[in-house]
Structure 1
């Protein structure tokens, strides 16, 4: 019987520790450089990720869109839960985050693009889709330039299929007035097991809104 001397297990642990440190340092640098684009200096907790994704109907999801994927905290979990024939479109303005995701995550279902969430329908068309089942956002709406949050909310409503959902996590209730005129059903609650505690929103697009768009 072969016995593990510990030597083989130390190297992967050291590598994982080094990778986590590099990831955290990149995230912290981006927060320092662009605090208005990165919502928090600390990545989202597993509890927040689970709370955001727990009601997603993965069996019927063909296109999942993520705004501001950053270092891929949500991205990896979405890929783990998605169908093998589904698509994840990740949109980020930050070229460093885009480059990181392209280097670190090798999954043919993932399409990472650099640009604004306000152009979501153009990016969707680029990967062969006309409507999204779910759109997830961690963009800090309270710090976006004037008019950008409104544009993103409107484009998101137009990009979702009837019954599709806009899933948003924030650190304030600022986004709710942007959602209510565009989505008939808006629900929110607080996830306390996150630093800082986060408020999560589920905004559903109805058939009536779909016809009006």
Structure 2
């Protein structure tokens, strides 16, 4: 490549890096959205109203393992860690290596584990970290744009990995995920959080308790 072509490329790279540094987490999130729009649900992280409302039903005293799909830059990670018991663990799973790298660099809590992988493999990931099941699973993945078959695979695996009485927490910008969850969860609580950009659909799918429990 001629040296005359290298200078504009280097300038462009430096400019992008400075903009990314100036924006902080928002810059990482925006870059992730632009690179993988199908896998990132929104260009804007969730509002604090969405976070508080989404996490409100969780029984934190009895939560030993909390799993999140599509953590992005950690919008939910820190609020979860603030609520999680000291001997609990938060495992986050994302297919975007940039998000995983960012989270590993910025969250140093010993209870936190960031895994580069697919949510469809949650059972193997949970077992690999010494757990038999998860108490709660949170997802902001855009089920409406996932490749065919991936959404049902994730929902089925999530139902299997949850303990009896546990819940699958989902926030979306369409109601499609609620219909998908209905195949696996008999009880689903629903809400809409208007104080979000854009407003989003919230749902909590509860796994039926084992009659033997």
TM-score by length of 2: 0.88
Q: Is 1:119–2:117 an aligned residue pair?
A: no
| Partners of 2:29 and 2:43 within 8 A in 1 | yes
The superposition leaves residues 57-86 of structure 1 with CA deviations (integer Å, 9 ceiling, x where unpaired) of 100000000000010000010001100000
* 1:31-180 correspondence runs (5 A): 31-180=33-182
Q: Decide whether aligned partners of structure 1 residues 164 and 181 sit closer, same or farther in structure 2, where only a CA change above 3 A counts.
A: same
Name 1:7's counterpart in structure 2: none
| 1:22 to partner: Cα distance | 2.2
The superposition leaves residues 65-118 of structure 1 with CA deviations (integer Å, 9 ceiling, x where unpaired) of 000001000001000110000010100100000000000000110111000000
2:122 match: secondary structure? helix
Unaligned runs of 5+ in 1: 1-17
2:76 match: secondary structure? helix
| Partners of 1:158 and 1:210 within 8 A in 2 | no
Distance in 1, matches of 2:71 and 2:22, equals 16
Name 1:184's counterpart in structure 2: 186
Q: Decide whether aligned partners of structure 1 residues 20 and 53 sit closer, same or farther in structure 2, where only a CA change above 3 A counts.
A: farther
Distance in 1, matches of 2:104 and 2:38, equals 23
| 1:207 to partner: Cα distance | 3.1
Unaligned runs of 5+ in 2: 1-19
| Partners of 2:21 and 2:27 within 8 A in 1 | no
Distance in 2, matches of 1:209 and 1:103, equals 43
Q: Decide whether aligned partners of structure 1 residues 29 and 185 sit closer, same or farther in structure 2, where only a CA change above 3 A counts.
A: same
| 1:126 to partner: Cα distance | 1.0
